[in-house]
Chains A and B, each alone.
Chain A
């Protein structure tokens, strides 16, 4: 069963076509990698799926809701983590979790035990009452992800979640992603790191607003006769005409 379906989804800004007739499906429980160079249209496509931006044409649904008419229902059923680290720096770890729990309508008495078990799992229990700005970046990003899936959404959208952190923290981050996937949460992730693409069940590669390739990393390597995902990506990106911004 598919949690994301799009059919010829298009977004134009004036005469510029940011996203050009993309059609794809994401299966429930899948880890789906959304790859592309800067300016290829990844973020725009993602914003349409999250209900932040209205498509120009085409159809699509997320978690069973239409991306034109049911954006409110979509928002209730997705999690989102942006490129920028985006928890409140002047609130404590606990206050941040409480805030997002409240925004997503989780019951008061559930928030507390769930916060404790989440922090325990992350090994952050001692930092419960620290201000977020005092935490190192890697910790912040892990926390940010945990907050994004705190309300058990059907699908979580991650926009370049591991930008700027070291490889070992990135590995730990991906362990969190796998744990979330085990809980049945579909993961939709954009990334620049080609080694991360290997961790995905399937990846799509966007070039100039189109999806030029979509398959499992193994089959894509076979198809493009390359040993690494990086080789596949380079092969496709060579045809790009759009300047990265």
Chain B
């Protein structure tokens, strides 16, 4: 027992005396969350709009002010003629240009038809589509206002409601994803590197000749990273709730239990990598290439798994992160209970048991 404690103390010294380790363990998670929450957000806010309005009547002014009042847009520029459109995009680079037809209000009143052209910057299709949708929605609301005045006989009201995420915030999607990624990073990468470092420097040999039992060696390597993952989990959840306004809709207890199982899986993967890798750089490459990339692209964090080609969907099923992120979304965002994530829990538990037993066996045979 005493061996265990002196060893854990030593492990924490390694961690806190290496600046880069501290940065990766404690600063990177915060940085990633803030990055994904703000900078890489797909939300559209305060997009600059330029307007070409040859009519300048009640209707066009109303539409422009509606757009300007919304959170999504800022009407910042008035352009005199359509010839300047190209120049405007090159110069001020607005997200959207609104072109009204001539005699807008009169056309609506008399012919019942008037047109608005929306010109968006198509170099980023996702953003362009989002901007277009927001602008259309606002213009449609004005149209309905007009229709109500004129008591049009038929009317279909489309009222969209985005369940679980009424404001369509992308952080609702990113937070569980970042949790899945950070835990994998801290547990698998850092554990495997710390063991590989001991092999590289030769200290592992000294420890193996000592009377320390293999299980004690493994546990004392794993416990500090388990502890740090818990700290990270707490940090991420606090930041999510208080900074990004992502609520924990479901039970915190269920979420923590789920995360613990996922942490065990990640630690076991770290041990497994360390039994293959004999140097830190190999450990880093394996965990970077074989873990981080698939977690980023295949776990459903960035792209929905359902839209992937079948072979990739299959690949995503063997990623622990995919199951964890799916379950974490259900608990955190949808507020579902334990019964709805039984399948994910089961898959993760089986992965944990298999990986832990394989890595323990590997670690022991390496002594031969």
| A interface residue numbers (CB < 8 A to B) | 50-54, 72, 75-76, 78, 80-91, 95, 98-100, 102-105, 157
Contacts and interface: CB of A to CB of B under 8 A. Distances in A.
A75 B210 contact: yes
Interface string B9-21: 0100110011000
A99 B6 contact: yes
Contacts of A103: 3, 6-7, 207, 210-212
Given A98-B6, A102-B3, A103-B212, A90 B17 contact: yes
A78 B209 contact: yes
Nearest to B15: A90
B148 to A, nearest CB: 73
Contacts of B7: 99, 102-103
Secondary structure of the B contact surface, majority rule: helix
A233 to B, nearest CB: 27
Nearest to A54: B368
B168 to A, nearest CB: 48
Contacts of A99: 6-7, 10
B81 interface: no
B285 to A, nearest CB: 23
A86 B211 contact: no
Interface of B: 2-3, 5-7, 10, 13-14, 17-18, 201-203, 205-213, 367-368
Contact of A90 (B13, B205, B206): B13
A78 B206 CA distance: 11
Contacts of B367: 52
A94 to B, nearest CB: 12
Given A86-B201, A86-B203, A50 B14 contact: no
A150 to B, nearest CB: 12
A53 B2 CA distance: 26
Given A86-B201, A99-B6, A104-B211, A80 B13 contact: no
B207 to A, nearest CB: 7
A52 B208 contact: yes
Interface centre among A81, A83, A86, A89 (most CB of B within 10 A): A86
Contact of B13 (A52, A86, A95): A95
A84 B7 CA distance: 21
